[in-house]
């Protein structure tokens, strides 16, 4: 069997890695693998506000959170590239819905609790003053997503039954009656038994010629990056919708904006100034630090942030794995395992019904 995966972000890469255990795989990307949303995100291995999401998102997140440490270790061993799954914990400051968060944690038996703000300041000395309340979840990790996609690409290149074709945009699907039997690219047709669409924010554009209106659209997010001492920030912190994420080498990510600007990925000075203001409010010492990076990416938004995972009705052989919105990195391991289970006819890791395209289009 041959599977074609359209899209080389973390969803496409992990889909290909899972499918390659049982079939030949061709991975296609319109640019270079892993250079869009998967590269641009922050890499928190948790939804920003897990209590605000449906059970469908939570189920994928929980499975993936348990899976990530082993995935990081396996990729380091097989490729020599460390995705740096970094367990720091996360503090939420001055939440409007703190009571709802704590009630969710109690019901879901999550280790999320209220902590005294003086304890937070002792644990995170760089934190700004003026915050009144905090809740904390220990063990929340972040992954260094640019290294994750590099490691996944390297792992795929080691496999003799996988072919990666970069700068190969797909212009259409090849059909035989009701069945999709391949894709058309700039360099010709590629035939397949199964086609997986994992093109993130561009997925709806690719489906439109089939008469399918997929409710996935791009939402721009901008981030900035600082370089500090390795021990400057021991934990992730989040306040007023903005977060700071520490990497092991002292890089600090600040994000992010939410902008409905279509497919425009241009970083703007307005966003830069807004992110710098948030950074300096959270961590005042950053006022004396230089911004060493500023970029934008496009999230694939979807209704309620629930991804589309499963077969596309009326188009046998065409599968979706897209629409992960702000949670592509945290949901990727579970989403891609679920997709592989469905394609290969195994018992799925979780109930696939909430993600099925049927009835949601």
- pLDDT tens-digit map of 6-16: 999 999 999 99
User: Do 3 and 23 contact (CB within 8 A), yes or no?
Assistant: yes
pLDDT band at 85 (very low <50, low <70, confident <90, very high): very high
DSSP tag of 304: G
User: Do 204 and 320 contact (CB within 8 A), yes or no?
Assistant: no
**Structure-token pair, residue 89:** 């914990």
Domains within the chain, CATH numbers bracketed = 2-72+146-215+303-355 (3.50.50.60), 90-138+217-301 (3.30.9.10)
What average pLDDT does the segment 87-107 reach?
Answer: 97
User: Do 226 and 279 contact (CB within 8 A), yes or no?
Assistant: yes
Contacts of 157 (CB under 8 A, 6+ apart): 164
Q: Which residue has the tokens 């999401």?
A: 53
- pLDDT tens-digit map of 278-308: 999 999 999 999 999 999 999 999 999 999 9
pLDDT band at 158 (very low <50, low <70, confident <90, very high): very high
User: Do 46 and 92 contact (CB within 8 A), yes or no?
Assistant: no
What average pLDDT does the segment 150-160 reach?
Answer: 98
Rounded to an integer, what distance in angstroms lies between the CA atom of residue 322 and that of residue 196? Answer: 10
What average pLDDT does the segment 65-77 reach?
Answer: 98
Instruction: Break the chain down into helix, strand, coil percent, rounded to 5.
Output: 35, 25, 35
- Mean residue pLDDT of the chain comes to 97
Give, in degrees to the nearest 5, the angle at Cα 62 between 57 and 64. 95
Q: What are phi and psi of 355, to 5 degrees?
A: -105, -5
Q: What are phi and psi of 215, to 5 degrees?
A: -80, 60
Q: What are phi and psi of 256, to 5 degrees?
A: -145, 170
**What pLDDT is attached to residue 156?**
98
Strand partners, 353: none
**What pLDDT is attached to residue 99?**
97
**What pLDDT is attached to residue 114?**
98
* pTM of structure: 0.97
DSSP tag of 346: P
**What pLDDT is attached to residue 236?**
98
What average pLDDT does the segment 175-200 reach?
Answer: 97
């Amino acid at each position: 069997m041959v599977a074609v995966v359209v899209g080389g972000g973390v969803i496409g890469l992990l889909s290909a890695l899972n499918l390659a255990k049982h079939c030949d795989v061709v991975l296609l990307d319109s640019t270079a693998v892993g250079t869009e949303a998967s590269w641009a995100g922050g890499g928190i291995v948790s939804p920003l506000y897990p209590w605000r999401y449906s059970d469908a998102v939570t189920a994928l997140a929980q499975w993936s959170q348990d899976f990530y440490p082993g995935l990081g270790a396996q990729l380091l061993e097989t490729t020599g590239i460390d995705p740096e799954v970094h367990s720091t914990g996360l503090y939420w400051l001055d939440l409007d819905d703190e009571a709802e968060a704590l009630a969710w944690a109690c019901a879901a038996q999550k280790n999320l609790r209220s902590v005294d703000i003086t304890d937070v300041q002792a644990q995170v000395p760089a934190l700004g003053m003026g915050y009144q309340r905090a809740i904390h979840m220990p063990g929340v990790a972040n992954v260094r997503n640019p290294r994750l996609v590099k490691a996944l690409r390297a792992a795929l290149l080691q496999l003799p039954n996988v072919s990666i074709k970069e700068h190969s945009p797909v212009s259409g699907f090849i059909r035989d009656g009701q069945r999709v039997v391949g894709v058309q690219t700039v360099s010709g047709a590629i035939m397949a038994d199964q086609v997986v669409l994992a093109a993130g924010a561009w997925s709806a554009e690719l489906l439109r010629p089939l008469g399918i209106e997929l409710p996935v659209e791009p939402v721009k997010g901008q981030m900035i990056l600082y370089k500090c001492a390795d021990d400057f920030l021991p934990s992730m912190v989040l306040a007023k919708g903005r977060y700071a994420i520490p990497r092991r080498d002292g890089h600090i990510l600040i994000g992010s904006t939410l902008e409905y600007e279509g497919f425009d990925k241009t970083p703007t000075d307005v966003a830069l100034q807004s992110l710098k203001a948030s950074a300096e409010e959270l961590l005042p010492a950053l006022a004396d630090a230089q911004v060493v990076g500023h970029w934008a990416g496009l999230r694939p938004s979807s209704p309620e942030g629930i991804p589309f995972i499963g077969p596309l009705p009326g188009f046998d052989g065409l599968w979706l794995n897209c629409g992960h919105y702000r949670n592509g990195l945290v949901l990727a391991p579970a989403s891609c395992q679920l997709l592989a289970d469905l394609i290969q006819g195994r018992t799925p890791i979780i109930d696939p019904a909430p993600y099925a395209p049927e009835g949601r289009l």
